Amino acid sequence: MSSIRPAELDDRLDSPSGDAPFLLDIRPEPAFESGAIDGSRHVPVYDELRQGDESALRDRLGEVPTDEDVVVVCKMGIVARQATSVLRDEGYEASTLLGGMSGWRGYQNGSLSYKLRSLVWRLR
């Protein structure tokens, strides 16, 4: 399964080469409204995917561009893996944001828990 670390995503978002991916935030509405990565597209299918229902995402694939890399964002990165799998099955270049919004916020804040998680990701 393809994934991307928050620091890598940040580099791509800041890249002057136009390498920024399409950010697909699948979290529920309240979570998205409480904070999202700038430029994210909100497609709230988290609850359905968590229950094993992939049809909610498949029904909304028209909202996801086929000609861009896609990074899927959820709360912790777990449900995003399922969404990433669906997208890859449908021919998208998709990856999961490791740690989800929790990881992104930890990266942005330089938290100790993020630094420890990042170390583990690098060792894999």
Token code pair at residue 91: 């021919």
pLDDT in tens, 70-122: 999 999 999 999 999 999 999 999 999 999 999 999 888 876 666 676 667 66
Structure confidence by residue, pLDDT tens digits, 15-36: 877 789 999 999 999 999 999 9
- Rounded to the nearest 10°, the torsion over CA 39, 66, 56, 31 is -10
CATH number for the region 3-123 comes to: 3.40.250.10
